[in-house]
Structure 1
Amino acid sequence: MKFYRDIFEASLNRVLPENDKKRFFQAFYTTFIHISPETEQHFSRHAGEEGRQLIYKCFFAMLAVDGVLFVPDFLERTAREQSDEGLRLPPRLFAFWRESMLRTVRAHDPLCDEEVLTAWAMAIAPGLEYLRRQAELHYRAGGE
């Protein structure tokens, strides 16, 4: 029996060393912004340090969402808020978030293989699905 949580956590420790947690995130963010013309267009309107910081915080908060269906308060507020305090991503961009995350893991984890990518996909799925679903319910295109 494989324990994908263990595989994920080992990979997470490799890509997010204690002394440099921002390098991996910055690579993810750059990949996410440039993964498609749609994301480039969205982020050209919502660029800036505040937006990047919000995605940084959501990135780590969504890792806390797991099979027990626990969602941190910060993530819930951010996912639902449609002002400058909220994430404000259209639902369709969350597939790009997933793809960007897996590409970044592949590029930054020296031990990355299909099992590692499967573990990451499983680990981020609950949080990403939560964010996507909240975007379906609360996203307003006029805020774009």
Structure 2
Amino acid sequence: MDTERLFDRSYERVLSHEVDGRAFFEGFYDAFLAASDEVAEKFHDTDMDRQQAMLMKSFYHLLSFYASNNADYYLDRVAISHNRHHINIRPALYDLWLDTLILTVRRFDPECCDETELAWRLVMTPGIVYMKFHYNRDSIVGS
């Protein structure tokens, strides 16, 4: 299985495909907010257009982390801002985030199959583990 190739092709498809007049990141947030009252509360009063733009930027850094095994400054800052001392994103919410992302991929990628889902999970998981690891930390390791 060529994980990177499967992921890249699927990512291109989801970005070029609309479902019910919604783009991929809009569809993701629709599903994520509906998945949990806690998530909906976290995003109460959030500018969702700005949030979608931030997620698109974060995707780049998650992909970079997967490819390089190194967290950059941006990912460090996101990890800190999401830990228990700041936004307080509990580790379990990252699991919900990934599951919702996969459901959204399946909706937006007409060619999505089990191998494609696995590729998405393999690419996203290192960054998610990084974020979860820093939940109880006061700062980033090595800072």
Instruction: Give the structure-2-normalised TM-score.
Output: 0.77
Q: What does residue 98 of structure 1 align with?
A: 98
Q: What does residue 29 of structure 1 align with?
A: 29
Q: What does residue 14 of structure 1 align with?
A: 13
RMSD: 2.6
Q: What 5-or-longer segments of structure 2 have no aligned partner? A: 17-21
Q: What does residue 4 of structure 1 align with?
A: 3
Aligned partners of 1:61 and 1:75 also within 8 Å: yes
Aligned-residue offset at 1:56: 3.7
Separation of aligned partners in 1, 2:68 and 2:60: 17
Q: Percent identity?
A: 26
Aligned partners of 2:25 and 2:52 also within 8 Å: no
Separation of aligned partners in 1, 2:71 and 2:26: 24
1:25-66 Cα deviation digits (max 9, x unpaired)? 11112211221222123222x622454543343233212211
Instruction: Please state whether the residue corresponding to 2:64 is helix, strand or coil.
Output: coil
Aligned partners of 1:55 and 1:87 also within 8 Å: no
Separation of aligned partners in 2, 1:111 and 1:53: 25
Aligned residues: 131
Aligned-residue offset at 1:93: 0.9
Amino acid at match of 1:105: V
Aligned partners of 2:65 and 2:126 also within 8 Å: yes
Moved over 3 A (4+): 49-56
Aligned partners of 1:78 and 1:87 also within 8 Å: no
Go from structure 1 to structure 2 and tell me whether the alpha carbon gap of 1:75 and 1:88 turns closer, same or farther (over 3 Å shift): farther
Q: What does residue 40 of structure 1 align with?
A: 40
The 5-angstrom pairing of residues 1-144 of structure 1 reads 2-17=1-16, 23-44=23-44, 47-49=46-48, 50-66=50-66, 68-81=68-81, 88-138=88-138
Q: What does residue 19 of structure 2 align with?
A: none
1:70-105 Cα deviation digits (max 9, x unpaired)? 1121111122136xxx76522221011101110110
Amino acid at match of 1:75: L
Separation of aligned partners in 1, 2:80 and 2:72: 13
Instruction: Please state whether the residue corresponding to 1:135 is helix, strand or coil.
Output: coil
Separation of aligned partners in 2, 1:10 and 1:128: 21
Separation of aligned partners in 2, 1:52 and 1:6: 24
Separation of aligned partners in 1, 2:35 and 2:77: 27
Instruction: Please state whether the residue corresponding to 1:110 is helix, strand or coil.
Output: coil
